[in-house]
Amino acid sequence: MLLERYYQDRESFISYSHKKDRYPETFDFHLHNFFEIYFFISGDVRYFIEKQIYQLKPGDLLLINNHEIHRPTFVTPAVYERITVHFSPELLGLFSGPGFDMLQCFTDRPKGEGNKLNLGPEQILTARRLFAQIEEVCDRAGDGAALLRLTYLIELLVYIEQLFLDIRPVAERFDPPEQLMPVLDYIEANLEEDLSLEALERRLYVNRFHLSRLFKQYAGSTLHEYIIYKRIARAKKLLAEGHNVTEACQMSGFRDYSNFIRMFKKTTGIAPGQYKKRV
């Protein structure tokens, strides 16, 4: 069934993008329904995933699953070039065998940890070749091209999983400031509670204005936006576990049902009821 749907609408299951921006735009936090392979080519970029910031250098590979909020931030306005592949984990999961799970590198690690693989020169060349294969067939029409797109992505994922097992992710990252870490931990553990700046100030004895500035300096975005995306990620997980939409709304910390529906759709592209049916 999934394969039939893939051949009818391949872009909804596997999409490829190779972009080069002379003046990088500002990116908000985002959260996908798919898995993402991100290959960094050039720029002066730090990449925020969950609580961590990774400093990127050319040839770095980021692996991001559908529960990890993320955004790039730009240290200087250098030319920003990258390749991204988004794919359906349900579709590609069909091709993992009992002895080799090619999606393990996305799923078998704590959220926001182990996202970055630092490739050597030969590994970069191999990765570029595998990406180029996908890029070439993405411009073609017909079921033959769709089959090649899927086949080449499987080849890329097998290679990445082997890298993940062989070289393991690197821990080069910027940890949150010491004063910010307990705040992020508290938010993670209490998403269903009141997490306004005033409430955090009372609970954690930190000045709300200082906290707001500190997070903005670290992540390049607002703490309010971060909390919204964390709550949507929690709601997605609850829906996938079998909770209904009302329960997911309440258990992820949204006080207003209509606001939850609106933010979920804005963030993921579909309504929570539709998301629940898909998973």
Tell me which DSSP letter residue 213 carries. H
Q: Give pLDDT tens digits along the chain (279 positions).
A: 888 889 888 889 999 999 998 877 777 788 888 999 999 999 999 899 998 889 899 999 999 999 999 999 888 888 999 999 999 999 999 998 788 899 999 999 888 888 999 999 999 999 999 999 999 998 888 778 999 999 999 999 999 999 998 876 555 566 677 888 889 889 989 999 999 999 999 999 889 999 999 888 888 788 998 999 899 989 998 998 899 999 999 999 999 999 999 999 888 888 998 888 877
Distance between CA atoms of 236 and 100, rounded to whole angstroms? 27
**Given this model, what pLDDT does residue 17 score?**
96
Which bin fits 220, alpha (ψ -120 to 50), beta or left (φ > 0)? Answer: left
The helix/strand/coil state of 11 is helix
Instruction: Give the long-range contacts of residues 222-227, CB within 8 A, separation 24 or more.
Output: 223/197, 224/197, 225/28, 225/29, 226/29, 226/69, 226/187, 227/187, 227/191, 227/195, 227/253
Q: How far apart are CA 95 and CA 238, in angstroms?
A: 26
Domains and CATH numbers, the chain: 2-167 (2.60.120.280), 181-278 (1.10.10.60)
pTM of this structure: 0.83
Q: For position 172, what pLDDT does the model report?
A: 58
Give the whole-angstrom CA distance, residue 5 versus residue 148. Answer: 16
With H, G, I as helix, E, B as strand and everything else as coil, classify residue 247.
helix
For residue 27, what is the DSSP state?
-
Question: Under DSSP, is residue 191 helix (H, G, I), strand (E, B) or coil?
Answer: coil
What distance in Å separates the CA atoms of residue 44 and residue 46, rounded to the nearest whole number? 7
Helix (H) or strand (E) segment spanning residue 154: helix 143-167
